[in-house]
Amino acid sequence: MKVFKRFIFMLQFFTAIPLPFTLDVNAEDTGKGLIFAPLVGLILGLVLSGAYYLLNLLFPIYVTVVFLIVLYIILTGGLHLDGLGDTFDGLFSYRSKERILEIMKDSRVGTNAVLAIVCVLLLDTALLAAAGQAAMVKILLLMPIAGRMGALIGAGVSVYARKGEGLGKSFIDYCGKREVFIGAVPVILIFYAVGGLIGFLLSAVSMTASYLMVKLLSRKIGGATGDILGAVCEMTQTCFLIAVYLFQVLGFKL
């Protein structure tokens, strides 16, 4: 029952999919439930892959990819993009730690947020379109898994940067290396099942990128926040797409 509750909560939190459940979750459920974040990514990937089959019958690849990006935003409610924007607004304000955290918590959107979100969405769109149709289903299936594994890694290797309580604190305080390992094993297996050795290498590249990004983003404020975890999720997906493209250039196709 506890496992089911945590999975449903992750599905409710990480997506905008309407579910008829009212859950009583605590901080421990929030953090330890992150092991299911990659599984939520798999569900998103299945929806995107199915949408691709339908859209590709009607539209050219560039139009199809734009529709897929829009669908991804709808499915996630823009949650991680919001974290990406808040993170870049704060970190690139070049202020003190306290002021950076205040800016990240501010609901207003600044120039750095807009630039970061636009750059990530443009990169994702261009890289998906450039990947070609042969491997598109595999890429769409794995991309959201990589992103949410990034959020899991970010929480598991970080300390909370703010003072006091918060949802980000629950994620980070109750998610450790054990949860990262539990979440990583099925991710590696899925990547290998979908793409063989190339899939395995892409999982390693994505996880390494996640670890490096969270360490880089959290360095200035001495820890991570929920916004940083969202930023890592989105940026890991972009890194995954970059890796897929570079592998294809080198002749190693997914």
Query: What pLDDT is recorded for position 23?
Result: 82
Q: Are 100 and 93 in contact (CB under 8 A)?
A: yes
Tokens at 67, concatenated: 């529709």
- Helix, strand or coil for residue 114? helix
Contacts of 46-51 with CB under 8 Å at 24 or more apart are 46/141, 47/71, 47/75, 48/72, 48/75, 48/140, 48/141, 48/143, 48/144, 49/137, 49/140, 49/141
pLDDT tens digits, residue range 139-188? 999 999 999 999 999 999 999 998 877 668 999 999 999 999 999 999 99
Q: Who wins on pLDDT, 95 or 193?
A: 193
- How far apart, in Å, do the first and last CA atoms of the chain sit? 37
Non-local (6+) Cβ contacts of 14 within 8 A are 37, 40, 41, 76, 79, 148
Query: What pLDDT is recorded for position 89?
Result: 95
Angle between helices 61-76 and 37-55 (to 10 degrees): 140
Q: Which of 113, 137, 139, 116 has its CA nearest to residue 127?
A: 139
For residue 56, pLDDT beyond 90: yes
- pLDDT-derived band of residue 47, with 50, 70 and 90 as boundaries? very high
Q: Are 253 and 134 in contact (CB under 8 A)?
A: yes
Query: What pLDDT is recorded for position 83?
Result: 95
- pLDDT-derived band of residue 22, with 50, 70 and 90 as boundaries? confident
- pLDDT-derived band of residue 132, with 50, 70 and 90 as boundaries? confident
Query: What pLDDT is recorded for position 119?
Result: 97
Q: Who wins on pLDDT, 5 or 241?
A: 241
